[in-house]
Structure 1
Amino acid sequence: MVIGNPPYGAELSKKEKSIYKKLYPIGSSNTAQLFIIRARQFLYLNSTNCFIVPKSLAYVSTWKNTRENIKDNLTLLIDCSKAFEHANLEMLIYLINEKSKIDSYKTASFEQRKYLTKVNKTLISLFEIFPLGVKDEELNLGIKIRKNIGEKLTDCGKHIWGDIFYKEIKQEKSDFKVLGGKEIQKYFIKSKPKGFISKYLTLSIKSKIQENSILLQRIISCVSGERTAICGSIIEKDKERYRVVNTIHQIVCKPYLSNRLILGILHSKVLNWYCYAFVFAKARLSFQFSGESVGRIPLPKLNDKSLCNEIISLVDKILETKALDSNSDTSNLESKIDSLVYKLYGLNSEEIKIIEGGEK
């Protein structure tokens, strides 16, 4: 048996990285991942390895090869959340047994001190993560949402991070207003920009706001540390007066897709619940939109034009209301959007209760 709490994020010299890259070809020099691979080399038939490691193992793209390395022998995953008081990381405990391949693993919650469900390993390829800390009913609902999709978010248009020109940003008024992630709020843009830049500064196309686009905070956070909160808005009036930095994730929707429709879906309770549970493995700190995470987000089928048009109309009303007063209460309109998006995903009343219960 190999048990431990391996070092993570330890600094390695270039020489050490080169050596470990050859010894452990997993595409990463993260020391926790190196220890995981090394631990397996000590295991014999029916022996066990149990480590407490960053929750990144469950969902982060740079840990993908390590997930592949251990998944066949994985028997248990425990969600430990923020296990150590002075460590700014969420953790999990994994247990692998070096015997013949196992077709499922158990997942449990350290906070709740109980076993939650058994996860069939075919679901790892479906969700592209290690589902972690979910109950039976959550897992079944996640499967339904993931399988009953029109396309993934990555397919709805072009995804662009803003440009990098922080050193050129000034606080004195100039030709263009600069926006960063903090200026993007749910359905509105803060009145005070990040700063200003001159029109004589040469920037790439990434800095410009495109037609039919959505501006999202690239760094995603959780509300009260409990659930994912995607945050975005739309700028159409005088958009040429703005430039954006790379803390903004811009989606340029395809011509046949309304940016208002996609924005309404992205802000819905069901999609944020799904992202929390099955894109970011119930992580409660911050994470970001990336090529891989965007590719895991399922959009519903958009065949019901009546429902889609209702969502577009409601989003229009919210944007207009927030433009007049960003402090306006639009919760009633947002609740109506939630109800319509539930219908797009084909959810029944019991399934909605699972999501609404998870919002508390």
Structure 2
Amino acid sequence: MASLDKWRVVLAQNIALRNKNLEEDELNFVVQHTIDRIIFLRIAEDRRVEDYGELQKSVTSGDEYYQNLLRNFYIADRKYNSGLFDFDKDKISTHISIDNKVIKSIIEELYYPVCPYEFAVLPVEILGTAYEQFLGKTITINTAHRAKIEEKPEVRKAGGVYYTPQYIVDYIVKNTIGKLVEGKTPKEITKLKIADPACGSGSFLIGAYNYLLEWHLDFYTKKETLAKKDKALTPTGALSTSIKKQILLNNIYGVDIDVNAVEVTKLSLLLKCMEGETQASVEMQMELFHDRVLPTLDNNIKSGNSLVDLDYYEDQFDFKDEKKIKPFSWQKAFPEVFKQGGFNCVIGNPPYAQVTDKSLVIYFNEKYFHQDYQQDLYLLFLEKYKHLLLTGGMLGVIIPNTWLQSIKFRNIRKYLTTEFNWKRILHINEHIFKAVVDTHVLLFEMKGQAINNKVVIDIFEKNRIKEHQTILQNSFPNNGDTINILSKENEKKLFEKIKNLSNSIREVSNVYNGVKPFEKGKGNPPQTEQTMKEKPFVVEDQEKPKGKNWLPLLRGSLINRYVNFWNNNSWIQYGEWLAAPRDPKIFEAKEKIIIRQTSDSIIATLIEANIICRNNLHILISTSDNHKFLLGILNSRLSDFYYFQINPERGEVLAEVKKQHVEQLPFPKNASKKQQAEIAQLVEQLLHLNAEKQKTKLTSKMQQLQNHIDYCEDKINKIVYEIYGLAEEEIAIVEAN
């Protein structure tokens, strides 16, 4: 539906040109509503609820096509009562002008042969996907009152809009709402309250509504007597209009800070409600029951900031940001829900973004008590959910996996382990939001942790979900320590054994981050936009430049295990003008270990003095000058196994070895001098063999060198196993990992 963007552009530009009195918010509103109304009526035509070609007629006669269109909208209001066509609330649309050619071009694109879609069979979910991209942009007006479509700043920063895949929606709905309706009757389900606090285009609420529709249809199909009593089924065996409306109004709630997102959610839900209706069923509804076909959703789907209550106004004397912040009271918005204690189920995909607004940072610091480090919206939502759920309510959300693995998020982790019963976690081994984050799906119950509560860990890989293991929740640390949900019981025991026989790397060496050359506003003098663009202090793929302070520069992609690929072709002009230079003494050290940051395992080698390392490398300097022995330990399979226990990112696209991970790695307490000397000697050979391998061009010689490398690495692994006294079954665990 790329047409959505095109229609918005032509409508926005023409309406802004013809209606100079409109402000930005008003322009966004009228463009959104005009498109929504046209799409609704066009889909109604293909579903045979409206006469085919009604919209076309509005652009074939008369002088003002937009006025013809408005007449269609008024008729629709009398028939549908959906709020979408409510001109008592919409005081803008009836007082604007739009050129005929603009209206005609949009309408013509909705019909054959220009339009490729059969709207009767177009799933609402597909429409939602198209609208998700639409919602990532906004209309702005310049001083000449000309309209321009721009990506929202938060979307631009995130690299785009990312729609939640349908299988994630289905998994969450099935394992939350599916559990809540088990053994219930339709009467009992009328009390079930389901919310998405950041509903976007409505994908989760559509999933929830569709699940309840199918559940009710299945129930009434099997219970004919009750179906007749409740007037639940039509003569063709479909759910009646009244039942579909009841479900929507009784069960489905949503909030979004974006008013346009709220309108899209309403549109999607109303189209879902109207599925299966015909012109005859609509007319019968109006004649027999004097009731219009669709409900108004104004009391169910609302716009506001789910995280900021009305107490934001306290101590606020400047309200210029009120429109942007949009304080919102859940209790005042949904009093019938909180009269029963809260929602039975909260689902969704909260936004992932750091909070930068100063007033919000202050507010969240005062009102949220389980946050650490930088405030992130998804972590704030994790804290908020408890206050939206009643006791025993279900939570189902998809969020970044950092909540479990980042050392910085101790408080929120402790909060979640103690305040919720964890039911299921889906670990997603594939990168479903391109260029953004790796994710988990959480399915929690709002109760304090039960003593023997079992957590099912599922894994999504190769396009299917499979059960990985079941763990007792009380086996996880509840003090805020990081949690590895993939680690099995025998792996945990071995991890603890290794840990008890080791010092941490931070106890035997100093670990440093590499140099960050460029960042706007950093360095002396502060770097500018031009500095960022020209990058004058770094040269790649050329010989050493003339001038002072030029030193070899090493980056993560230029190293591998026991090898350094630098070839006199990468240089940095070192000094205080860099964004984040390090103490020169770090690089002057005679010998040091470097570890690649962008990796899902430990990749380390040894370098000599006066080589500068970029910030995608970590630098490790031993306090006892035993770098070769230490390098052998770091590159061993045992170290790799240990690393996976503290940071289980194996196979993930954005996997990162962070400085704090390196500092936690094991260094054996009880290695004999002989064992240390043997490993150091083997490392010496590996450094030489890998260097030789880089020089050779003969395949046969390369293979011979690789065989020798494999032999040396195997020998190091065996010595490491001896140092830690591993039994055969323990070695098997390490090797399998």
TM-score, normalised via structure 1 length? 0.84
Q: Give 1:289 deviation, angstroms.
A: 4.0
Paired with 1:332 and 1:182, the residues of 2 have a C-alpha distance of: 25
Is 2:319 the partner of 1:319?
no
Alignment of 1:32-181 (within 5 A): 32-72=378-418, 73-76=420-423, 77-82=425-430, 84=432, 86=434, 88-103=436-451, 105-111=454-460, 113-119=466-472, 121=474, 123-124=476-477, 128-146=481-499, 148-165=500-517, 167=535, 168-170=537-539, 171-174=542-545, 175-181=550-556
Judge conservation of contact 2:544–2:569 (CA < 8 Å) in 1: no
Judge conservation of contact 2:601–2:657 (CA < 8 Å) in 1: no
Match for residue 224 of structure 1?
A: none
Judge conservation of contact 1:188–1:322 (CA < 8 Å) in 2: yes
Match of 2:623 among 243, 250, 254: 254
Paired with 1:308 and 1:8, the residues of 2 have a C-alpha distance of: 46
Paired with 2:712 and 2:472, the residues of 1 have a C-alpha distance of: 37
- Give the 3 Å change call, closer, same or farther, for CA 100–11 of structure 1 in structure 2: closer
SS in 2 for 1:213: strand
Is 2:558 the partner of 1:187?
no
Match of 1:303 among 639, 646, 671: 671
Judge conservation of contact 1:150–1:299 (CA < 8 Å) in 2: yes
Q: Which amino acid aligns with 1:109?
A: D
Q: How many residues align?
A: 346
Q: Give 1:123 deviation, angstroms.
A: 4.5
Q: Give 1:105 deviation, angstroms.
A: 4.9
Alignment of 1:196-345 (within 5 A): 196-198=571-573, 204-206=582-584, 208-217=587-596, 219-221=597-599, 228-236=600-608, 239-240=609-610, 242-255=611-624, 258-280=626-648, 282=650, 284-326=652-694, 328-329=705-706, 330-345=709-724
SS in 1 for 2:441: strand
Paired with 1:335 and 1:127, the residues of 2 have a C-alpha distance of: 37
For residues 54-92 of structure 1, the C-alpha deviation after alignment (integer angstroms, 9 at most, x for no partner) is 111110133322111111134243322226264642221
Paired with 1:198 and 1:133, the residues of 2 have a C-alpha distance of: 44
Q: Give 1:282 deviation, angstroms.
A: 4.8
Q: Gapped runs of 5+ residues in structure 2? A: 1-344, 519-534, 695-701
Moved more, 339-348 or 108-117: 108-117
- Give the 3 Å change call, closer, same or farther, for CA 271–126 of structure 1 in structure 2: farther
Moved more, 193-202 or 320-329: 193-202
For residues 161-191 of structure 1, the C-alpha deviation after alignment (integer angstroms, 9 at most, x for no partner) is 2223353123441442111222222111113
Paired with 1:43 and 1:31, the residues of 2 have a C-alpha distance of: 18
Match of 1:22 among 366, 374, 380: 366
SS in 2 for 1:343: helix
Q: Give 1:9 deviation, angstroms.
A: 2.5
Q: Give 1:199 deviation, angstroms.
A: 7.1
SS in 1 for 2:440: strand
Aligned-residue identity in percent = 21
Q: Give 1:40 deviation, angstroms.
A: 1.1
Q: Give 1:8 deviation, angstroms.
A: 1.6
SS in 2 for 1:286: coil
RMSD: 2.9
- Give the 3 Å change call, closer, same or farther, for CA 79–164 of structure 1 in structure 2: closer
Q: Which has the higher contact order (CA 8 A, sep 6+)?
A: 1
- Give the 3 Å change call, closer, same or farther, for CA 291–161 of structure 1 in structure 2: closer
- Give the 3 Å change call, closer, same or farther, for CA 125–295 of structure 1 in structure 2: farther
Moved more, 277-286 or 22-31: 277-286
Q: Give 1:264 deviation, angstroms.
A: 0.8
SS in 2 for 1:234: strand
Q: Give 1:107 deviation, angstroms.
A: 4.4
Moved more, 202-211 or 26-35: 202-211
* Greater share of residues in helix: 2
For residues 295-344 of structure 1, the C-alpha deviation after alignment (integer angstroms, 9 at most, x for no partner) is 43233333333222211110011112223333641111111111111222
Q: Gapped runs of 5+ residues in structure 1? A: 222-227
Paired with 2:615 and 2:686, the residues of 1 have a C-alpha distance of: 26
Match for residue 352 of structure 1?
A: 731
Paired with 1:205 and 1:332, the residues of 2 have a C-alpha distance of: 39
Paired with 2:414 and 2:568, the residues of 1 have a C-alpha distance of: 44
For residues 87-108 of structure 1, the C-alpha deviation after alignment (integer angstroms, 9 at most, x for no partner) is 6422212233333433565241
Paired with 2:689 and 2:447, the residues of 1 have a C-alpha distance of: 61
Paired with 2:413 and 2:660, the residues of 1 have a C-alpha distance of: 15
Based on CA coordinates, which of the two structures has the bigger radius of gyration? 2
SS in 1 for 2:391: coil
- Give the 3 Å change call, closer, same or farther, for CA 156–123 of structure 1 in structure 2: farther
Paired with 1:251 and 1:52, the residues of 2 have a C-alpha distance of: 36
Q: Which amino acid aligns with 1:173?
A: K
Judge conservation of contact 1:82–1:89 (CA < 8 Å) in 2: no
SS in 2 for 1:158: strand
Paired with 1:289 and 1:348, the residues of 2 have a C-alpha distance of: 29
- Give the 3 Å change call, closer, same or farther, for CA 272–192 of structure 1 in structure 2: same
Paired with 1:107 and 1:209, the residues of 2 have a C-alpha distance of: 51
Judge conservation of contact 2:484–2:648 (CA < 8 Å) in 1: no
- Give the 3 Å change call, closer, same or farther, for CA 127–356 of structure 1 in structure 2: farther
Q: Give 1:130 deviation, angstroms.
A: 1.4
Q: Give 1:214 deviation, angstroms.
A: 0.6
For residues 227-268 of structure 1, the C-alpha deviation after alignment (integer angstroms, 9 at most, x for no partner) is x321121123xx23x22222221111012x511111111111
SS in 1 for 2:469: strand
